[in-house]
Each structure stands twice: as C-alpha cells, then as structure tokens.
Amino acid sequence: MTELPLTGITVLDFSQFLAGPVAALRLADLGARVIKIERPGSGDAGRRLAFAGLMVGDDSMSFHTMNRNKESLVADLKDPDDLARVRALVAEVDVVVSNFRPGVMERLGLDYETVRELNPGIVYGSVSGYGDTGPFKDRPGQDLLAQSIAGLPWLNGSRDDPPVPVGLAVADHLASCHLAQGITALLVRRFRTGRGGHTQTSLLEALLDLEFELLTTRLNDPSIEVRRKGIRSAHAFLPAPYGIYPTSDGYLAIAMNPVPVIGRLLELPEVAAMTDPQDWWDRQEEIEELLSDRLRARTRDEWLAVLDAEDVWCAPVLTLDELVDHDGFRAIAMTQEIKRDGLDLITTRSPIRIDGERLLNPRPAPRLGEHEEIA
C-alpha cells in the first residue's frame, strides 16, 4: 500500500502500560507517525512489565508488541528545559495521547485546555481508569481492578464458581479501540471544519459498553435478576442449548439452536420432544446435562461432523496450542515479524484490512531515547 489512511498525521504519545500505547499503536498501524515521550532512566513502565516473565533484549515482549512502529524521545516533564522542548512539539503535532490519572497532565501544564492554546487544532485523546468524576476516579486504573468494579468476574463463570475474571486485559484493549476511534473521528471533523477536540474514555466505560445487553435489560426492568446459571451455560440471558459441552477428547461450543433439532441430531428422544421454547428456559440445566452425557460418548470432531452437516451453530473449543497449529489460524494470517538488535519476534498485526490489504509493518519498538534528534 503506497499510502495509509493516516499518513501525514503525527501523534505525541505520553501514555504507558497498555490502553494508551495500544490506542497509539492502532493509529501507527494506519499510517500515523507516533512519538513516545518517556521518562529518563526507565522509560515507559511497560518496558519492564513482562507478561509471563518474557523479555526480548532489554524490553519486555509485551512492550515490543504494544509499541512497535513508534519513536522514543526521553524527557523529564518536571524539568523546565525538557518541558519547553515537549511543549514546542505539542505546538506542531496533530494528536496527543495520555492515560494518566485525572489531574496529572493539568499539573504538568499539558492538559487539553492548556495544549489547545498552543495548538488550537489539536486532537487530544485521554483514557483513565474510571473517568474524571465520582468516587472511583482516583483508584488505580488497572484491568483486573476495572473488571472487578464493573462486575465482570461476577458475570463470568457458573453459579457455583467464585468470581472469575476474564484472563486477558479486556478493559485495556476495548478502551484502546474506543480511544483510537474517538481520535480518528475528531481528525475527520478537523479536516472538515478545522476544529480540533478532546476525546475521552475509561476502562470502566469500555466494560460497561461491553455489558450493554445485561445492563439494558436490568435497567429497563428492575424485577429481572441477572444470575449465573449451571456449569454448561455460557450466557445469563440465553436458554439451552447455549453453552460449552464436554466430548470424549475436548470441548464443543453450541450457540443459539432449536433444542428439538439438537435432540434429533444427538439421538436424544426426550430432548427432541421439547418443542415448547419455554421449556428451554425452565428445564435448561436438565437439557444441558442430557446433552453433556450424550456428547461425552464421541470425539469433538465426530460430533462436529454431525452438527456441521445440518448447519448447526457450533464450534470446537480450541486450546492455544491447537489454535496456532490450525489451518484457520494460518489462513487469517494475523502475525507479522519484527526485528531489533538482531532479535526476531513474531507478534500480531493490526486486525484491520484496508482495500483488501493487511496492515503490516516490520518496524520494531524503539530503544529508550532512540530518536533524540526529534526535537
């Protein structure tokens, strides 16, 4: 691709850890030039936060993944000379990204209201843990903590489980998408009108948006209680057979399907006879156990052959090893290779395709202060 959609846009990225850096990464993948502003000595705290303890050279593998295709400028924002140098950059760039707790950028004189005096057309994107007001605003904005406040661990798992968090940084990743979307929308507005703006989101807002089905139902009918169900169910508001079931050698996911159809295909006459949809709610756990007992009799792939032939909505539950070895994983080509200091690293690419082309860039994460010539 000769020119990406955000080619010519320059982003100044003050953020660290995950939500802000990944939002900036999404802009970089679309063609923007992203300059990280990092503290002297240690840089972005994410350089040392190693998921699974894995380091690649001097930086964590996760840092390489989240900060590829960026530049690094070291600046002590409490030093007047360094701050003046950064403010000169702010006056020239298109976008600023930050993810500090409320009040930090204000104390540095780099908040939106101050920055737009230097650069009236600036697009400013900020992400926090819980917004700028309310009793949660000063709490640490970390993924597990945000999940917990949003009730996600309580929604996850089955009735008899303790709270079960999602085993991924789901709040950070969702917030990064929303922040990048808001920034891109303001860039479009600026191209139309010349007006910049400030887009904001938070980990909590990202998770509440994720929970829109349950929240909308509960808020409009307070008599409805959101309750986790039995060990096979995969959704508090969907009846049987929606869930995950054991087979003789793995697990099988079954989505929204008429119960009698499943009963017929699994040769379960008592389930095939359940033609009243109310039974799919009232007898949900009974149906799930009947399906489980039957599905254990054969392998996952044997059952998939039976169900796929009838266009039943189902899928194998793959382990991570099975996924990366699968032809489907290779076909979607979600990986790319980056190189730095003689080290090779395979990571994910942008999930976006433009004009049929995947967005690939082999440029690695920067070494700390690698691009001091910027200012």
269-283: pLDDT as tens digits? 999 999 999 999 999
Q: Return the closest-CA partner of residue 33 out of 8, 4, 68, 2.
A: 8
pLDDT band at 88; cut points 50, 70, 90: very high
CA diameter of the chain: 79
What is the four-CA torsion angle of 12, 16, 22, 27, rounded to 10 degrees? 0
Of all residues in the chain, what percent carry a pLDDT higher than 70? 99
Q: pLDDT tens-digit profile of 262-320?
A: 999 999 999 999 999 999 999 999 999 999 999 999 999 999 999 999 999 999 999 99
Mean pLDDT on 191-198: 98
Distance CA 335, CA 134 (A): 41
For residue 239, the one-letter residue type is: P
Contact criterion met (CB below 8 Å) for 201 and 180: no
CATH number for the segment(s) 243-317: 3.30.1540.10
Task: Characterise 322 by phi-psi region: left (phi > 0), alpha (psi -120 to 50), beta (else).
Answer: alpha
- Name the helix (H) or strand (E) containing 367: none
For residue 159, the one-letter residue type is: R
CATH superfamily of 10-209+332-374: Crotonobetainyl-coa:carnitine coa-transferase; domain 1 (3.40.50.10540)
Contact criterion met (CB below 8 Å) for 226 and 238: no
Contact criterion met (CB below 8 Å) for 26 and 49: no
Distance CA 97, CA 14 (A): 6
Q: Would you give the DSSP letter of residue 52?
A: G
Of the CA atoms within 13 Å of residue 203, those in its CB half-sphere come to 31
Angle between helices 143-150 and 170-193 (to 10 degrees): 90
Angle between helices 143-150 and 203-210 (to 10 degrees): 50
Average pLDDT value for the chain: 95
Burial of 120 (0-12, 13-18, 19+ CB in 10 A): exposed
- pLDDT higher than threshold 80 for residue 1: no
Neighbours of 232 (CB within 10 A): 21
Q: pLDDT tens-digit profile of 132-181?
A: 999 999 999 999 999 999 999 999 999 999 999 999 999 999 999 999 99
For the chain, what are the domain ranges?
Answer: 10-209+332-374, 243-317
- Laid out side by side, the sheet with 243-246 consists of 243-246, 251-254, 314-317
**CA end-to-end distance (rounded Å), the chain:** 29
Which residue's entry shows tokens 């295709």?
69
Active site residue 79: no
Please tell me which residue in 172, 249, 276, 344 is annotated as part of the active site: 172
pLDDT at 146: 98
Which residue(s) pair with 11 in the sheet? 34, 95
Rg (CA), the chain: 25
Which residue's entry shows tokens 């100044």?
12
Beta-carbon contacts of 84 under 8 Å, excluding residues fewer than 6 positions away, are: none
Distance CA 179, CA 326 (A): 33
pTM: 0.94
pLDDT at 2: 73
Decide: helix, strand or coil at residue 286. helix
Q: Do domains 10-209+332-374 and 243-317 have the same CATH topology?
A: no
